[in-house]
Amino acid sequence: MVLPGIAAAVDALMRADGGRLLAHLVGAVRDFQLAEDSLQDALESALHHWSRNGLPRSPPAWVMQTARRKAIDRLRRSASFRAKSAEIAHLIDLDAHAADWTEPEPIADERLKLIFTCCQPAIDRKTAVALTLRSVCGLKTEEVADAFLDAEPAMAQRLVRARHKIAKAGITYEVPGPEHWPARLESVLAVLYLMFNEGYASSDARYIRADLCDEAIRLARLLIDLCPAEAEPEGLLALMLLHHARRAGRLGADGGFLPLDSQDRSLWDRAEIADGVRLLEHALRRGRPGPYQLQAAIVAIHAEAPSFIETDWREIVLIYDVLIERDNNSVYRLNRAVALSFAETAAAALPLLDPLEESLGGYQPFHAAKADLLARAGRQEEARQAYTQAITLAAAPAERDFLRVKRDLI
Amino acid sequence: MKYMALIYIDPSRMTPPDSPEFGKMMSGYREANETYQRDGVYVSGDALQAASTATTIRVRDGRTESMDGPFTETKEQLAGFYILDCASLDDAIRYAALIPGAAHGAVEIRPIMVFDR
């Protein structure tokens, strides 16, 4: 029999230590799927043992040791038993000389390996987010499935396929060397930001998926602890905190989405904004501004502006100039045009949108921004058409409602 | 660990041998080959004749049926390959990115299966 208190304790253990345990196990068994399966076996076993005998002195150490033994069992049972004898010997050796696995340094290293493995650029982005949530954050498969509004079996399959690819495609379980470091770190940051956005700009705008935002923030903090010399993880965390600080102002009383100009700024979390700004300043002092720091700088200007009108739009345009110089990305150019429309006039900004039509024609915010500029420039009929186009492209009901209201107000 | 890099190119975008770009492309392959040799990752690699020269066979009920042309109907066709022996997927990606065909076509990287005894 499993006592409910014990089930809760096992869940809490996984949330707190799941990533560390799994990282250490993958390091020990050198096989992602085997580590995952053995950890599951150990947790199953923990539920029953602990219900009978109470919690052990150190639950994580108990789970770690049990998982290692479960891995030996699984290897012994496997068809290629003889081929695995070296692995089994290695594990038995580890078990005999089990180091105190709570040593902070090597563990930090193991977790970093785990993050880099899950966020390998050769793994599809959505899968990387899912795998990171499952493996590093210790979310259950059903929770990961929920986060993506997917069915659990489909998500379980996706995770198994990913671990299979890690095993078979030569995705190394290590912190990448200097030659691969920048590209791999970029991929890790992209995965974390995607995780955050999945929560923040959730396709169901009725609620912000706080759990995903919190996980992304938690992971970014962990990454900063693990890579203290890097500026961009700090930039990313600052960016996420500065967005996150404004979450209470983003949804109206009816649950609808509120744009920046109609948000109640008194609802913004000043302490979190201060945190974000402090972190961003720390990052910028390193003198290596990257895209996350620059985007955070823009969000910081918004977060610190007393009102929409009093926002320093000139400065925002200048930061977009720097971003565009590094990466001529159409979304940056769209945002720059919008900032310019407030720094100067809507009529001055409109011609900047024409060259973006081709690349952003299927992007809802492009048409919404264009509609707004047209309306402000006094071109009502065209503005209505642009809103209609945006409404057709909007994914979330709350977004559609918001755009309809804007269109009817013209 | 051995990887096969399969080079897929849209035939309409192949560089004609009498064009000025042809020499540039060939020197790109030469540089890639030199890098592979120098770093000791090269196992083999070749270009293939055009897909129009391909014959596809199927053996059904003991009878060999042959068909003119390639198996797939995709726009990009298999134009060549490398087999590279690399330490990790990261390395394989880095080396495969040197293949000039990757700049306009696509290179698929597949680990070569190793059978346990």
Q: Is A399 helix (H, G, I), strand (E, B) or coil?
A: helix
**How would you class A386 by CB atoms within 10 Å of its CB: exposed for 0-12, middle for 13-18, buried for 19 or more?**
buried
Structure confidence at residue B76 (pLDDT): 86
Chain B residues whose beta carbon lies within 8 Å of the beta carbon of residue A80? 116
The chain B residues in contact with chain A (CB within 8 A) are 1, 3, 86-90, 92-94, 111, 116-117
Q: Is residue B53 part of a domain?
A: no
- Containing domain of residue B91, as a range? 2-47+76-111
Q: Are A276 and A303 in contact (CB under 8 A)?
A: yes
From residue A169, alpha-carbon distances to A41, A89, A122, A202, B91 in Å are 26, 25, 9, 32, 12
Please judge whether B89 and A120 are an interchain contact, meaning their C-beta atoms are less than 8 angstroms apart.
yes
Q: Is residue B32 part of a domain?
A: yes
Q: Which residues of A100-135 are buried (b: 16+ CB within 10 A; e: fewer)?
A: ebeeeeebbebbbbbbbbbbbbbbeeebbbbbbbbb
| ipTM for the assembly | 0.77
Please judge whether A179 and B94 are an interchain contact, meaning their C-beta atoms are less than 8 angstroms apart.
yes
Q: Which residue of B has its CA nearest to A79?
A: B116
Chain A residues whose beta carbon lies within 8 Å of the beta carbon of residue B92? 170
Structure confidence at residue A173 (pLDDT): 85
Q: Is residue B94 part of a domain?
A: yes
B108 bridge partner residues: B6
Nearest to B7 by CA among B101, B111, B116: B101
Please judge whether A179 and B88 are an interchain contact, meaning their C-beta atoms are less than 8 angstroms apart.
no
Q: Are A97 and A60 in contact (CB under 8 A)?
A: no
Chain A residues whose beta carbon lies within 8 Å of the beta carbon of residue B115? none
Chain B residues whose beta carbon lies within 8 Å of the beta carbon of residue A168? 111
Q: Which residue of B has its CA nearest to A83?
A: B116
Per-residue pLDDT tens, chain A, 410 aa: give them.
788 889 999 988 888 888 888 888 888 888 888 999 999 999 999 999 999 989 998 899 999 999 999 998 888 887 666 666 777 777 777 776 665 555 444 456 678 888 999 999 899 988 999 999 888 888 888 888 887 778 899 999 999 999 999 988 988 888 888 888 888 999 999 999 988 988 776 545 444 566 788 889 988 998 998 889 999 999 999 999 999 999 888 877 776 778 889 899 999 999 999 999 999 999 999 999 999 999 999 999 999 999 999 999 999 999 999 999 999 999 999 999 999 999 999 999 999 999 999 999 999 999 999 999 999 999 999 999 999 999 999 877 778 888 999 999 88
- The DSSP letter of residue A361 is T
Give B2→chain A minimum CA distance, Å: 9
Q: Which of B88, B94, B117 sits opposite A170 (nearest CB)?
A: B88
Q: Is residue B61 part of a domain?
A: no
Please judge whether A172 and B1 are an interchain contact, meaning their C-beta atoms are less than 8 angstroms apart.
no
Structure confidence at residue A203 (pLDDT): 47
CATH of the domain at B95: 3.30.70.1060
How many domains are there within chain B? 1
Give A187→chain B minimum CA distance, Å: 13
